[in-house]
Amino acid sequence: MIAVALSGGRDSLLALALLKEAGRRAIGVHGRFLPDAPGRMPHGELARELAARCAALGVAFHAVDLRREFADLVVAPFIRAYAGGRTPSPCCLCNAALKFGLLLDRAGAFGATRLATGHYARLAHGPDGPALARGADAGKDQSYFLSLVPRDRLARAEFPLAGWSKARVLDELAARGLPPPLPGESQEVCFVPGDDYHAFLAAGEVPLPGPGPILLREAPGREREVGRHKGLWRHTEGQRRGLGVAHAEPLYVLAKDTGRNALIVGPAARARCAGVTASRLNLLAPPETWPEAVLAKCRSRQDPAPARAALAGDALDIAFAEPCALPAPGQIAALYDANGRVLAGGVIDAVRLAD
């Protein structure tokens, strides 16, 4: 039996409908990750709505309370990362630790051995095990956000929307008489109200670093102070707006020097990335099978770009063929082959500027 992780949105609901229509034995499971809050549908109401959709499809529904685990495994690392000068990717951690981790495990108590989600990604099984690849809808592909999910978990995963386009989903649900309980798209980070990171972090209990200098990098090894920042956690690499510095040309965040509590800025010509180093690796294909030339994606809105990659112990070094826009330490680096297969994922530790 297969469990379908239902968020309340359109994609997971259609995934359940498609599996049911294909004759699969399925159940709906909803992982409750968040407490009730203003502006968010109360969980009791959402659970009732999801149960009604499952009943209409003739499948059982189960809700699983994972609020404490979500707070420990996703929210707390998010806050610690910002406090340490990094820019995290909580959705990637959630997919690995919660959805295809604890939620998949809990679904086993209801008789499920597999878990399906509404992600736009492809999954095939080859001689090296499960192969994760880009979905058919290039504009909505979510393989990047799944690149930290281990192979043994992907072996028990299914993505019914692999060949679908996002534009079709609402019409298909309407044709089946299945309006999603949550009609809008989910916000970028589900636990940050209104996507206001600054207010969310400032209201927390973790101490955050205070003001410090903004240093203009005029040349390698030569910097001068041009302003003051209000906390490194308020900024990320590649940022242009909101620096509060008057200059003859736009300035971009090049790096955050946590040792000096300094924000390093420079003109657009310097805000380019030559490569990154990543750790906490998730190898999805044996490294000896990787092509010499790979494609690397280091930001969620970046298209995979030509690069070379090499393993050095537990670290992965990626060198781009051409300089690209700056990613940030804490973000995810994902490697692909030319056919869109994900070779590896990891957390960026360091970014090399293309000086």
Domain count, the chain: 3
* 247, 235: one domain: yes
* 230, 304: one domain: no
Q: Identify the domain containing residue 172 by its residue range.
A: 2-198
Measured CA to CA, the distance from residue 35 to residue 328 in angstroms comes to 30
Structural contact between residues 62 and 28, judged by C-beta atoms closer than 8 angstroms = yes
- For residue 336, the domain's CATH number is 2.40.30.10
Residue 137 lies in a domain: yes
Residues in the chain: 355
Q: In 3-state terms, what secondary structure has residue 108?
A: helix
Q: Which residue in the block uniquely carries the two structure tokens 């189960």?
A: 62
DSSP state letter for 155: T
* 19, 64: one domain: yes
* 56, 192: one domain: yes
- For residue 58, the domain's CATH number is 3.40.50.620
* 138, 284: one domain: no
At 39 the pLDDT is: 83
Is 324 part of the annotated catalytic residue set?
Answer: no
Q: Which of 230, 251, 270 is the last residue of a domain?
A: 270
pLDDT along the chain (355 residues), means of 10: 96 97 97 91 95 97 97 96 95 96 97 97 84 92 97 96 93 94 77 89 90 91 92 95 88 96 95 97 95 95 94 95 96 96 97 91
**Alpha-helical regions (H) of 74-147:** 76-83, 90-94, 104-107
Which segments of the chain are extended strands (E)? 2-5, 26-32, 61-65, 114-116, 121-126, 129-134, 157-158, 212-219, 222-229, 251-257, 262-267, 272-283, 294-297, 305-312, 315-325, 332-336, 342-353
Phi first, then psi, for residue 173 (nearest 5°) are -65, -40
Euclidean distance between the first and the last CA atom of the chain, given in angstroms as a whole number: 54
Give DSSP secondary structure letters for 26-41: EEEEEEE-S---TTS-
- For residue 252, the domain's CATH number is 2.30.30.280
Is 298 part of the annotated catalytic residue set?
Answer: no
At 38 the pLDDT is: 86
Measured CA to CA, the distance from residue 85 to residue 234 in angstroms comes to 9
At 228 the pLDDT is: 96
Residue 204 lies in a domain: no
Exactly one of 92, 94, 273, 298 is catalytic; name it.
94
* 153, 30: one domain: yes
Give DSSP secondary structure letters for 231-295: -GGG--TT--TT-----SS-EEEEEEETTTTEEEEEEGGG-EEEEEEEEEEEESS-GGGS-SSEE
* 216, 192: one domain: no
At 194 the pLDDT is: 82
The model's pTM is 0.94
Structural contact between residues 227 and 244, judged by C-beta atoms closer than 8 angstroms = yes
Measured CA to CA, the distance from residue 319 to residue 335 in angstroms comes to 11
At 121 the pLDDT is: 97
Longest dimension (CA), the chain: 68
At 186 the pLDDT is: 65
